[in-house]
């Protein structure tokens, strides 16, 4: 009897702990309550080809930052890629497109991608991650002198300049160190 | 025992040697395409030379994204992403391991900077400049 009581207490305590930690882990910021989504953030980049072809010039944004329709549009307009010609040969382009679409925000569920999708109208296929409504909202307290006016940062597109763990998918503000300024905690 | 040590030392030196070998192979290929007497100083001068991009009117050079000092890290003019040094002596072991990658970036970056492809002579001079550093 004593044994059963103990097991029961342990099970109960575990349930309470899980429930509390789930609430604590959930990001209550904004209108999102996706606390039962198991994965908190975008999956890390798993394509060496994407990493080397695209990541040579800019941060290799995880595919989970945009919906599949955006990636398709992006990969179809590489000759005019944010004002640069970033053309790839057909085979490379097809491979990378397939990877990005498979891992896109609407194909790999996680809390971060869900918030991203909610900030994009369904009939829109945005290409620029750094000005999505969700990203704007997340950065609205950072003065421009620390980003655009900061030679070591240059642009919000340069995620890894401040988000020191960006490549592992951690964009949590505790991992933020702004060059020339230091840690950012609000 | 001596043989084992010799082999180990050779293995340790392999990566740097591999980069240099690939660069030298490329220069042989450029000679076969009409290049001759590759000159690190000429490469250095071209590296810093500015050109006006026809589309944007911007004045750019190799140093817009790479550093003028090849042993230092550069920063992409548009995205700010850091770009590893280009000096053969400081470049990582896999910086110059793939000839196709070297040609890909020559093609893309010569077009971006000069508005045209580089000649075999120019490419050889650039590599001579990387090797001298």
Which positions in chain B touch A157 (Cβ < 8 Å)? 79-80
Chain A residues in contact with B78 (beta carbon < 8 A) = 57, 82-84, 155
**Nearest Cα to Cα of residue B86 among B100, B99, B103, B67:** B67
Residue from the list A59, A83, A84 with its beta carbon closest to the beta carbon of B81: A59
Question: Are residues A85 and B78, on separate chains, in Cβ contact within 8 Å?
Answer: no
Residue with tokens 């001759």, as numbered in its chain: B36
Residue of chain B whose alpha carbon sits nearest to that of A152: B80
Check residue A25 and give left, alpha or beta (phi > 0: left; psi -120 to 50: alpha). Answer: alpha
Asked if B108 lies within 8 A of A158 by C-beta distance, the reply is: no
The residue ranges of chain B whose pLDDT is under 70 are 1-2, 4-16, 93
Mean pLDDT of A74-103: 94
Which of A80, A93, A154, A163 to mutate to test binding with chain B, by most B CBs within 10 Å of its CB? A154
Predicted complex ipTM:
0.72
Average of per-residue pLDDT across A42-49: 96
The string of pLDDT tens digits covering residues A148-166 is 999 999 999 999 999 999 9
Q: pTM (2 decimals)?
A: 0.76
B116 touches chain A (CB under 8 A): no
**pLDDT of B12:** 56
* Phi, then psi, of A75 in degrees rounded to 5: -75, -15
**Pick from A83, A84, A154: CB nearest B80:** A154
Looking at residues A88-113, what average pLDDT do you find? 96
CA distance A159 to A113: 16
Q: What pLDDT, on the 0 to 100 scale, is given for residue B14?
A: 57
What does the pLDDT average to over A129-133? 96
């Amino acid at each position: 009897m004593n044994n059963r009581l103990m097991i029961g207490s342990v099970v109960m305590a575990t349930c309470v702990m899980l429930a509390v930690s789930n609430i604590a882990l959930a990001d209550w910021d904004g209108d999102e309550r996706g606390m039962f989504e198991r994965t908190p953030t975008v999956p890390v980049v798993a394509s060496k080809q994407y990493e080397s072809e695209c990541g040579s010039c800019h941060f290799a944004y995880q595919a989970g930052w945009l919906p599949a329709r955006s990636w398709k549009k992006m990969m179809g307009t590489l000759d005019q890629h944010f004002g640069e010609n970033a053309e790839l040969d057909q085979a490379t382009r097809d491979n990378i497109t397939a990877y990005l679409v498979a891992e896109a925000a609407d194909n790999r569920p996680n809390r971060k991608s869900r918030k991203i999708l909610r900030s994009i109208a369904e009939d829109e296929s945005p290409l620029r991650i750094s000005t999505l409504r969700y990203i704007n909202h997340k950065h609205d307290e950072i003065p421009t002198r620390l980003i655009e006016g900061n030679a070591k940062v240059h642009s919000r597109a340069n995620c890894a300049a401040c988000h020191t763990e960006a490549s592992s998918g951690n964009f949590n503000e505790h991992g933020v160190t702004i060059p020339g300024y230091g840690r950012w905690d609000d | 025992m001596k043989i084992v040590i010799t082999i180990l030392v050779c293995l340790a030196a392999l990566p740097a040697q591999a980069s240099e070998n690939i660069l030298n192979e490329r220069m042989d290929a450029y000679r076969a395409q009409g290049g001759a007497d590759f000159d690190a100083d000429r490469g250095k001068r071209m590296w810093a030379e500015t050109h006006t991009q026809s589309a944007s009117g911007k004045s750019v050079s190799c140093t817009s994204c790479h550093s003028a000092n090849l042993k230092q890290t550069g920063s992409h003019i548009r995205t700010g992403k850091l770009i590893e040094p280009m000096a053969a002596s400081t470049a990582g072991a896999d910086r110059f391991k793939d000839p196709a990658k070297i040609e890909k970036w020559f093609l893309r970056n010569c077009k971006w900077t000069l508005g045209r492809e580089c000649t075999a002579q120019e490419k050889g001079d650039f590599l001579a400049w990387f090797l001298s550093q």
